[in-house]
Structures are given as structure tokens and as C-alpha cells.
Amino acid sequence: MKHKSLAHQTCPISRCLNVIGEWWTLLIIREAFYGVKKFADFQKRLGIAKNILTTRLKQLVKDGILQLDNTSGKRSQYVLTEKGRDLIYVLVAITQWGSKWLFPSGRPSTRLADKQDLLELAPLEMRSRNGRILGAGDIEFL
């Protein structure tokens, strides 16, 4: 299905979805956080068709989320840029919501932990500028 592009909308949610709004895109980014770098490894781990993976990786490089690292003299490797690494907050939010609401029984496979003690992260908190913790009902969409 061809989408209307949301790239020029003035809402940051719309623009963000224009970049990461495809399933495969966020799953590729998840794999990059895992440390996956090579085309063949993305392909094997995601079970994604080669032509779709090629298109998505090219777009992610164009969008400045991944960059090509050819310095090792081996095949091209894809690594997250700063802009890409900054998507960690989106992945954490999605992981925590999914773990809370979509696993009525059983344990989620992906868990996000603090490297130091391997304990799971605390749930994300929304805070006002002066540090008060906010709930969904305290937020105003301007």
C-alpha cells in the first residue's frame, strides 16, 4: 500500500512515522542496537526478503539513521548514527508498553537492562521541566 508522505507535516509524530513507520524499519533498528552490522546478518535474523532489506537499509542511510562503515576493508557494515542511537527512547517506550500489555502469559524475549547490573530498566517517566512526575492526564497536547 502506498502511503501519502508525511514528511512535510508540521507534527513531529507524523514526520517521525514517515521515517520509522514501517515495521521492518524499527526491527532493523532493533537489530542494529543488538550489534548487527552486516547485510547477511540482518537478513538471516529478520527473515526478511533481500529486496525489501536493500530498500529499507538504503532509506535508513539516506535518512541519516544508519551509516555505512567501509573502513574495515571487508563488506559494508551498517552502524547507527547519533540520530539513530537517539531512537533508543522510542524502542524503550515500545518495549515497555509491549511487555506490559501484550504478554498476558509468558515472558518477553527482549528485555532492556542496565549494562552494569543486568537489571531491567525502570519504567520511563514523564516529567515536567521542574521534575514533577506526570501521568497521561497531566499532559496537554499543544
Is residue 68 involved in binding its own copies (CB under 8 A)? Answer: no
Give CA–CA dist 126/136, Å, rounded. 9
- Which H/E stretch holds residue 68? strand 66-69
- To its own copies, the closest distance from the beta carbon of 76 in angstroms equals 22
Grid cell at residue 11 = 507534527
- To its own copies, the closest distance from the beta carbon of 127 in angstroms equals 5
- To its own copies, the closest distance from the beta carbon of 140 in angstroms equals 5
Binders in 73-132 for its own copies, by CB under 8 A = 83, 85-103, 106, 108-122, 124-129, 131-132
Give CA–CA dist 107/111, Å, rounded. 9
Is residue 51 involved in binding its own copies (CB under 8 A)? Answer: no
Contact 66, 81 (CB under 8 A): yes
Per-residue binding letters, 9-28, with its own copies (x by CB under 8 A): xxxxxxxxxxx-xxx--xx-
